[in-house]
Amino acid sequence: MNLLEGLDRPDDREAVRVGDRALSYERLHAAAGAVAERIAGMRRVAVTATPSLETCVAVVGALAAGVPIVPINPKAGERELEHVMGDSAPDLVLDDVDLGASGDWPAEPGGETPALIVYTSGTTGPPKGVVLPRRALAATLDGLADAWAWTGEDVVAHGLPLYHVHGLVLGTLGPLRRGGAAWHLGRFSSEAAAEALSARATMLFGVPTMYHRLAADLERDEALARAVGSARLLVSGSAALPAADHARIEACTGLRIAERYGMSETLMNTAIRADGERRPGTVGPPLAGVELRLVDDDGAVLDVSDDETVGEIHVRGPNLFLEYLNRPDVTEEAFVDGWFKTGDVATRAEDGYIRIVGRRATDLIKSGGYKIGAGEIENALNEHPAVVESAVMGEPDPDLGERIVAWVVVEGERPSEQELADHVARLLAPHKRPREVRYLDELPRNALGKVTKKQLG
């Protein structure tokens, strides 16, 4: 099974571009081969996943070698880095990749070989490493190729981080499997997206926050709107796209965004097809090969397609992860009869379209497309010397989807909001910092002494 089929024919076509630097298939193949030779036989490696050609070569080299690679947030703070490095214990951090080196590729590893370990937040405690095998990457990318008529002719533009599934698997490995090109914008901006799309890019991948910002810019600038309107497909995922932003983008570009729904553990589950109806608020039918069911609170399977009855999404298929690294207990709890319990709550329409209406855990926050656990932030806040206790929640935000709000009880001199935000950014990551801090004398509690977050806000 050739995971990156595009690399079977390493010629001088462009494979990856980051800003104004690019690598041909030939160069990528050679440089990744050198990485593969260097790490042969290692148990696990990591890479500080900056948006760079070096990161792409490190990941492709590790895939070539059959050595699982952990992409690390370059802005990971002290605690987060300590945890990820301790938990994954890489033999090497591939931060000195040489784009000019050359080496040979070993034989293709088997489909169950772990390929990537991507860290994702839970409700409490530190993030968990999701172990993704090669066949899951292949299955999800082929499912999307079928849904979007995605071929080697396509050039995917995006400005997503390379330490999560969206930017790494879909935005980078996707084009390499198809034999097309990935065009990383370096950092997302409407101008960079428009430039790529008016040059060679055919598809744009982004999170709803990016489309929200894009909409505002396109409304101001017709030339920008025309450039974005030349795309073959605009795709949104990682969080719910507000209907208003969907309509604004359509009004400016004439294009209706296609949404798809996935998760680090499952990769992609559903997608609106390139030739399918775009109904705002829906994420389309299951991808080929993915089984999806809705289950009620008692665990009974809901055999209904009325776009009204709500149940938790369970999925099964070749797109699923192997396990949470070092967490057999949590892995076991995540499944029932071979089905993965997503925690997402949805309806199903007669034509199979899924509409996500919420999620089971209130302690999970989706901000800017990042999944963030409330407990993780509370633990970080509680480490601040002035903080006695804290409670963190997500509140609706037009730009970020949800913004992180922290309620804190402090003693002594009150630290400023900025100080607490910086404290969390330093320990965890900047995107996990509270955007707002509210000070209280005490947190509301029920008779059992448990904090009742519902009474906050």
422 touches, from ligand MCA, ligand AMP, none (C-beta below 5 to 8 Å by class): ligand MCA
In the list ligand AMP, ligand MCA, none, the entry touching 359 (Cβ below 5 to 8 angstroms by class) is: ligand AMP
Q: How far is the CB of 51 from ligand MCA (least distance, A)?
A: 10
410 binds, among ligand MCA, ligand AMP, none (CB under 5 to 8 A by kind): none
**In whole angstroms, how close is the CB of 192 to ligand AMP at the nearest point?**
23
The site partner of 283 among ligand MCA, ligand AMP, none (C-beta below 5 to 8 Å per kind) is ligand AMP
Stretch that binds ligand MCA, among 9-17, 84-92, 314-322, 420-428 (CB under 6 A): 420-428
> Judged by CB, which is closer to ligand AMP: 51, or 237?
237
- In whole angstroms, the minimum distance from the beta carbon of 317 to ligand MCA comes to 15
State the binding string over 72-91 for ligand MCA (x if CB under 6 A, else -): ---x----------------
Q: Is residue 158 within the footprint of ligand MCA (CB under 6 A)?
A: no
Is residue 368 involved in binding ligand MCA (CB under 6 A)? yes
Backbone torsion region of residue 232, taken as left when φ is above 0, otherwise alpha when ψ lies between -120 and 50, otherwise beta:
alpha
Given the rule CB under 6 A, which of 56-64, 161-169, 176-184, 295-303 is the region that contacts ligand MCA?
Answer: 161-169
In this structure, what DSSP letter does residue 242 have?
A: P
Site map (CB under 6 A) of ligand MCA, residues 324-363, x = contact? ----------------------------------------
Query: Count of residues for the chain?
Result: 457
CA distances from 215 to 68, 101, 190, 247 (A): 38, 42, 9, 9
Our CA angle for 267, 271, 276, nearest 5°, is 165
CA distance linking residue 265 with residue 110, whole number of Å? 20
Min dist CB 94 to ligand MCA, Å, is 21
Min dist. Cβ of residue 354 to ligand AMP (A): 9
Three-state secondary structure readout of 205-220? EECHHHHHHHHHHHHH
Q: Rule CB under 6 A: say whether 66 interacts with ligand MCA.
A: no
Using CB under 6 A as the binding rule, whether residue 212 contacts ligand MCA is answered as no
What's the angle, vertex CA 237, arms to CA 214 and CA 318, rounded to 5? 155
Binding residues among 371-410 for ligand MCA as defined by CB under 6 A: none
Positions in the binding site for ligand AMP (CB under 6 A): 120, 165, 237-240, 259, 261-264, 283, 342, 344, 356, 359, 366, 371
According to DSSP H, which parts of 149-221 are helical?
165, 174-178, 190-199, 208-220
Minimum distance, C-beta of residue 104 to ligand MCA, in the bound complex (Å):
33
Q: Which is nearer to ligand MCA, 266 or 347 (CB)?
A: 266
Tokens 């890019």, located at residue: 201
Report the C-alpha gap between 388 and 11 in whole angstroms.
60
Mind giving me the DSSP string for 256-283? PPEEEEEETTTEEEEE--TTS---TT--
Closest C-alpha among 11, 61, 369, 399 to residue 179: 11
State the minimum distance, in angstroms, from the CB of residue 36 to ligand AMP: 28
Q: Which two three-digit tokens encode residue 63?
A: 């895939």
Q: Quote the CA–CA distance of 176 and 187 in Å, as a whole number.
A: 20
Site for ligand MCA (CB under 6 A): which residue of 195, 430, 444, 451?
430
Q: How far is the CB of 210 from ligand MCA (least distance, A)?
A: 5
- Give every strand in the sheet of 267-271, ordered side by side: 21-24, 14-18, 181-184, 155-158, 203-206, 233-236, 258-263, 267-271
Smallest distance, ligand AMP to C-beta of residue 206, A: 11
State the Rg of the chain over Cα. 22
Beta strand pairing call for 114-120 and 155-158: unpaired
282 binds ligand MCA (CB under 6 A): no
Kindly list the residues in this chain that would bind ligand MCA in the complex (CB under 6 A): 75, 160-161, 164-167, 188, 207, 209-210, 237-238, 262-264, 368-370, 421-422, 425, 430-431, 433
